[in-house]
Amino acid sequence: MLENLLRIYDKGKTFMSVDMTRYSRQILFSPIGTAGQEKLQKSRVAIVGLGALGTALANHMARAGVGYLRLIDRDFVEASNLQRQMLYDEADAEAQLPKATAAADKLRAINSSVTLDPHVTDLTWRNAEELLTGVDLILDGTDNFDVRYLINDISVKHSVPWVYGGAVSARGMTFTIRPGITPCLRCLFPHPPAPGVSETCDTAGVIGPIVQVVAAYQATEAFKLLVGATDHLETRLRHFELWMNHDTAMEVSGHRREDCPACVERRFEYLDPEDKQAKEVSLCGRETVQITPPDPDQIDLDHLEKRLQTVAKVERNPFMLRVQLDAHRLVIFPDGRILVQGTSEIPLAKSIVARYIGV
Amino acid sequence: MIKLQTKVKVLCFAGLGEAIGKCVEIPVDSEISVSELRERLISTYPEHERSIRSCMIAVNHEYVTQETAIKTGDQIALIPPVSGG
């Protein structure tokens, strides 16, 4: 064993710069072995969403020695995240750090040899092609179907596999998508659930263990894909109900939907939407509306900070501009995204943004 | 082929199961396809139409096409997507 490890040390600069003893137990696992470890270290993975699933996935990937991790999240750490989002602590919540930044800091301390590429941004059709290509795999840590369908479009268009995962309450679901080989997400679920239909973590709650179960399956599928063990990939959609002691699996291989808009007709409705105007979303259960203006990168935080100082209490850090109004608060990010806190009413939020930001 | 007035048992997962029951029986009077069963479920539980439309329907633990005919004794499952993360 020691000889093997020394041999790895001698194999080349990119591989031997890492202290291999840390991976010794993973290399002893024969389906990975030295060859698999080398593949992991040359792999590039994007993780979308760094909430409960995303932080668990990022933890597995970084500890396993995946060479490059792109971390994408639009949110910042809150106290209510700490019960299940394993990379964050009280100080992160206190400082309201962006999740991508806070996660990258923790992962750097866990494994300094991993290249971490955090992006504090909302994944949309505008930036998805840039953020989700140039990787071997996309892992789903998101909490909504609009963005999952966007990931699915990129996956099909650019032939990048991805692993869907969802968790809410004590229930979870996961499924591995290999474009052109397995059905895609829109084969199984052609349309997103209508607004208010799906349970969310803010409405139905969630317990930490289901997150770890789903993330464990997703991460194992990721390892199989990255080391090329495709024969062992799960071809079933897995469903877990931890509290009710029930789990099940549905065989889905070989059943691409004949009229699937994405993987059969190659119409990428989420990547190339008909309506390219400003987009507003009410963030369920959080009394917050997110608004992405039509030209988000045109926003100038310095200018806004100066202008708003005269009418409101303004706080600024490198990641956001916070504007405390009477009953509401605006949080404006450098990428142009605006959170209106204190309301779930989109028209009111738009009106506030129009009055204070002018879009 | 389902004979006249037989019933199809449908297992409902997740929040849908909590709303309409974990196992519901839908009477059918002739051979029925997966997509027809979905419409039958919607007409039985119209208040849950949006939820039923979002579900994947599996027959005998397998995802099948919408045209697949349901046979007597088939185990049907109605599975909503899980969204949170």
pLDDT digits (tens, 9 = 90+) for A198-219: 777 767 889 999 999 999 999 9
Q: How far A294 CA sits from the closest chain B CA (Å)? A: 27
Q: Is B12 on the interface with A (CB under 8 A)?
A: no
Helices of type H across chain A: 2-9, 13-16, 24-28, 33-41, 52-64, 90-95, 99-110, 128-131, 145-158, 185-188, 208-227, 301-309, 346-356
Instruction: Name residue A45's amino acid.
Output: V
Give the one of A168, A191, A197 whose C-beta lies nearest to B84's C-beta: A168
DSSP states of A86-113 as a string? TT--HHHHHHT-BHHHHHHHHHHHH-TT
Domains of chain A in sequence order: 43-251 (3.40.50.720), 279-356 (3.30.310)
Please give, rounded to a whole number of angstroms, the shortest distance from the CA of A69 to a CA of chain B. 19
Please say whether the beta carbons of A179 and A160 come within 8 A: yes
**Which residue type is seen at A358?**
G
Task: Give, as one character, the DSSP assignment of residue B61.
Answer: T
A197, A251, A258 ranked by CB distance to B62: nearest = A251
Both ends of chain B: CA-CA distance in Å? 41
Residues of chain A with pLDDT under 50: 1-2, 6, 9-17
The residue to which tokens 């949110």 are assigned: A75
Q: Taking CB atoms and an 8 Å limit, are A251 and B13 in contact across chains? A: no
**DSSP-derived pairing of the beta strands A68-73 and A137-140:** unpaired
| Per-residue pLDDT, A6 | 46
The band of B4, judged by pLDDT with boundaries at 50, 70 and 90, is: low
Nearest residue, CB atoms, A189 vs list B15, B54, B61: B54
Q: Chains A and B: how many Cβ contacts under 8 Å?
A: 101
Please report the pLDDT score of residue A17 as a whole number: 47
pLDDT interval class at B45 (50, 70, 90): very high
Helix spans in A119-207 (H):
128-131, 145-158, 185-188
Nearest CA in chain A to B48: A197
**Is the Cβ of B27 closer than 8 Å to some Cβ of chain A?**
no
Indicate yes or no: CB of B84 within 8 angstroms of CB of A143.
yes
Q: Are A120 and A143 in contact (CB under 8 A)?
A: no
Query: Tens digit of pLDDT for each residue in A42-64?
Result: 999 999 999 999 999 999 999 99
Residue B14 contacts A, CB cutoff 8 Å: yes
Contact indicator for A154, A124 with CB cutoff of 8 Å: no
Q: Is the CB of A152 inside 8 Å of chain B's CB atoms?
A: no
User: Which residues, in sequence order, are CB contacts of A274 under 8 Å at separation 6+?
Assistant: none
What does the block give as tokens for A29?
């696992």
- Three-state DSSP class for residue A125: coil
**What domains can be seen in chain B, in order of their start residue?**
6-79 (3.10.20.30)
**Residue A56: both structure tokens together:** 């668990």
A306: DSSP letter: H
Q: Do B85 and A237 touch (CB under 8 A)?
A: no
pLDDT of residue A12: 46
